[in-house]
Chain A
Amino acid sequence: MPVTAVGQSVSRKDGIGKATGAAKYADDLTWPGMLHGRTIRSTVPRGRIRAVLFDFDTTGFTIVDHADVPGSNMVDLIERDQPLLAVHEVRHVGEPILLLAHEDKEVLHAARVLVEYEELPPLLDPEGSEQTFKTITIDKGDAAAMAGADLVVEGTYQTGHQEHIYIEPNGVIAVPEDGGITVHGSIQCPFYALKALKALLGPDIPARVVQTETGGGFGGKEEFPSIPAGHAALLAHKSGRPVKIIYDRVEDMVSTTKRHPSIVRHRTGVKRDGTLVAMEVEVILDGGAYVTLSPVVLSRGCIHAAGPYRCDNIRIEGRAVFTNTPPNGAFRGFGAPQTEFAVEVQMERVAEALGMDPVEFRRKNALRAGDTTATGQVLREDCSALAVLDEAVRRTEFARKRTEYEGTDRAIGLSLFYHGAGFTGSGERYLKSRARLEVTPTGVRIATGSTEIGQGTRTMHAQIVADALGVPYESVEVAQPDTKHVVDSGPTVASRTCMVVGKILEECAVEMRSELGKLSPAEYFAKHGAMTVERMYEPPDWIRWDDATYRGDAYATYGWGCDVVELEVDPDTFDVRLLEVTAVQEFGRPIHPALARGQIEGGTVQGLGYALLERVVMRNGAMANAQLTNYTIPTTLDVPEIDVVMLENPYPGGPFGAKGLGELPMDGPAPAVVNALRHLGHDIRAIPATPEMIAASPVAART
């Protein structure tokens, strides 16, 4: 079959709406009789609620507390430990206690609610927490082999919170209809929100979720929107009217999930010739006050914690712990950016301790096809660690610059990294994701739960279907995710939307083609009427995974990357100026090269912000800098253009050879930056590496 759309940068399916302002985001929608909703939140990190007092005229208000919940008051996620509305106690600043709605926004926000607490001492230090949400141990060989090493290098690495800063804050509108509640909103995973709404509303109130145009997600709208969706639904149910809840930026930053802060300790044993003998890694993630997705974030973090390196003896021990801070959750990379930062700075230090060139050290130890990972997975031909390293080093003339920059204010550093695509282990088997294709009078329509959040889902799925079905790209429509009309394709997360859901769509298209015979979909419709094809995902049959022992094939495949960062540090202000950033990445085959490049450029810049700028200041359990004025993300003046190289190594298990891509670019920038600072003599072991931190860092003599 001739391939005409895949591999081409065809026009986005979004049309022109995003550039004309016509695209409708949650806050752009109104319904007749709509009320505005507001959340009253805890102002203390830990306490018992003594009283809730209304210091306003309640006429015209709808007021909801935990007693108004028709079903279960617990968010239905991994554990049911997080109340939608606090009952007697609060465990973090920003915890929802009470909901108000009113038709006039100004009256709503002028209402004063006083909450009296019996304050209790909060637990804020994750290392001091004995309350563990999840522990994981990964054992390969025998870490006691460390005793036979010529040299052992130890180090502790820390990463801070990171805020998603989707430019559109969280927003939803709940609308009573047909005896139930429909929630329209800025939501990455409509079926997660649906599950939560069903538990909240109980069996007698049907729920439905419709995704509106979504102004960025990055994981921040993965599990979190179940909470505002539930709140709006409660207000709508009680008032009988549509209710809109839109967070302002401060509320979004104070109250919603962030990337888990981490503490990672390494002990690495090596031979004089640079051979890795043993690695011991301890991973601590600060989960915040409720479980959310912390067990799975910890899982991905631990699996990636030994980096893309061959070592026969590895022990990784991880724990996600409770603190009285707002719960942390999904964020692009999902634990891997934290642990890959640690291992890549550790590897740089090991090479340094050996007196070895950092590239040679990595080249010697990088995973190759046939090698086994920390979980014992034997890598196949889709392993490209050496290929990305060699291309990055060649392209940037790394060796020459490394020498040339000695004794200047300029430096160069790199990182080697990988990212597992799709759900971990047996996750894709449990998910049973589905996708559906429908013949229409003019072509075909894709009906999946996968959301477009900017990354190009609509476009890339339509390309896959067009070519697998042999129809023009323009004749493929993509339905807006609406839980009443599409099937559950699993969440739009984990770099799985192209590789997994795209694969199901490819299979649907192949099956539909055999039903159509030689007819076009439109001809078939005219002759026989509607037809739909629906299929479920079948992971590759060779995947073996044991959840109890953490042994086996953690991911069907991995993407591979090598980032090189050149920078200058101002000798007086310690400001870092990024000069050149090169990102070499292998993710199978790009379905849409321009979209893929956009994922790499955007993810790399988020990673550069994580490395240098984005510092969440926590004061008594609350974010103290919850404004874009003093939590800064990269602007046009902070980052150079990214030099992107996409290496191809088609993966047979993905549609047209594609692997997952979305998260991979997030893993590499931070260690590459810190390794470049190290080249300048600054011993940095924590990010963000702000000028203050660089100024205070021990400076080693440059070799």
Chain B
Amino acid sequence: MRFTLNGLPVETNAHPMARLLDVLREEQRLTGTKEGCGEGECGACTVLVDGQSVCSCLVPVAQVEGARVTTIEGLHGTHPLQKLFMDEVGAQCGICTPGMVLAALALEDNPVPTLDDVRTALAGNLCRCTGYSAIYRAVLKWRAEADSGPHAAPEQASARHK
């Protein structure tokens, strides 16, 4: 079975019903994707499949055959949102942060999201440390800077098109 992982083709011999989360963490050794509940409630295992955010604990790996999977490692630490999460203290303990960042990328096509847009985009991701406000500040600042920054557009698009 093949799929594209962070821009590179991969082949897996995992059982088709193996959780995508386990294939990523144990077989591919990409541990940035976290397990918080194993039932799709917390969103810590969020990854992008063909640009859509999903809980990788609920997805059998068979379902991503031929698809493009992006994990937090696929952003290469260069996405402006990653730095903003640290600068705005949107990350405290950090365990929800990779999933939050990926879920927030859903707002990439929304040049001027409202606070309600941000809350809706992140409603599937739990954070127990921040009370979410600092996360909103990080995401809104990212969109505001992307809106005004000349180099922002190609960089933002990186997650989707790798």
Residues of chain A touching chain B, judged by Cβ–Cβ distance below 8 Å, are 9, 11-12, 14-25, 27-28, 164-169, 213-218, 248-249, 453-456, 594-595, 597-598, 601-606, 627-629, 633-637, 639, 641-642
Q: CB distance B87 to A216 under 8 Å?
A: no
Q: CB distance A636 to B119 under 8 Å?
A: yes
Q: CB distance A628 to B122 under 8 Å?
A: no
Contact pattern, B 116-136, Cβ under 8 Å of A = 1, otherwise 0: 001110111111111111101
Contacts A215-B95, A216-B129, A605-B131 aside, 17 further interface pairs with beta carbons under 8 A come to A11-B86, A19-B97, A21-B72, A28-B25, A165-B126, A166-B93, A216-B92, A216-B93, A456-B92, A597-B133, A597-B134, A598-B129, A602-B92, A634-B131, A636-B122, A637-B120, A641-B115
B14 at the interface (CB under 8 A from A): no
**Minimum distance in angstroms from B52 CB to a CB of chain A:** 19
Interface residues of A, dominant DSSP: loop
Closest residue of chain A to B101 (Cβ to Cβ) is A19
Complex: A634 Cα to B128 Cα, angstroms: 8
Q: CB distance A601 to B30 under 8 Å?
A: no
Choose one: A19, A634, A637; the contact of B82 (CB below 8 Å). Answer: A19
Complex: A166 Cα to B96 Cα, angstroms: 10
Residues from 5 to 39 in B contacting A, C-beta threshold 8 Å: 25, 30-39
Q: CB distance B32 to A21 under 8 Å?
A: yes
Interface size on B, residues (CB 8 A): 54
Q: CB distance A22 to B32 under 8 Å?
A: yes
Q: CB distance B126 to A12 under 8 Å?
A: no
B145 at the interface (CB under 8 A from A): no
**Minimum distance in angstroms from A462 CB to a CB of chain B:** 15
- By a CB distance below 8 angstroms, the chain A residues around B42 are 167, 628
Q: CB distance A21 to B31 under 8 Å?
A: yes
Choose one: B36, B94, B129; the contact of A213 (CB below 8 Å). Answer: B94
- By a CB distance below 8 angstroms, the chain A residues around B30 are 21
Complex: A18 Cα to B127 Cα, angstroms: 14
Q: CB distance B128 to A165 under 8 Å?
A: yes
Complex: A23 Cα to B34 Cα, angstroms: 11
Complex: A642 Cα to B136 Cα, angstroms: 12
Complex: A153 Cα to B47 Cα, angstroms: 56
- By a CB distance below 8 angstroms, the chain A residues around B126 are 165, 167, 628, 633, 635
Residues from 58 to 115 in B contacting A, C-beta threshold 8 Å: 71-73, 75, 77, 81-83, 85-89, 91-98, 101, 115
Complex: A169 Cα to B115 Cα, angstroms: 30
Q: CB distance A168 to B89 under 8 Å?
A: no
Closest residue of chain A to B32 (Cβ to Cβ) is A21
- By a CB distance below 8 angstroms, the chain B residues around A249 are 36-39
Complex: A16 Cα to B94 Cα, angstroms: 10
Contact sample, A vs B, 14 pairs, CB 8 Å cutoff: A19-B77, A19-B86, A20-B73, A28-B25, A167-B128, A213-B94, A454-B129, A455-B92, A606-B131, A627-B41, A634-B131, A635-B123, A636-B120, A642-B133
Complex: A167 Cα to B80 Cα, angstroms: 24
**Minimum distance in angstroms from A9 CB to a CB of chain B:** 8
**Of listed A15, A18, A598, A635, residue having the most chain B CB within 10 A:** A18
- By a CB distance below 8 angstroms, the chain B residues around A594 are 88-89, 134
**Minimum distance in angstroms from B119 CB to a CB of chain A:** 4
Choose one: B25, B93, B125; the contact of A214 (CB below 8 Å). Answer: B93
Choose one: B38, B77, B128, B133; the contact of A20 (CB below 8 Å). Answer: B77
**Minimum distance in angstroms from B7 CB to a CB of chain A:** 16
Q: CB distance A18 to B133 under 8 Å?
A: no
Q: CB distance B75 to A20 under 8 Å?
A: yes
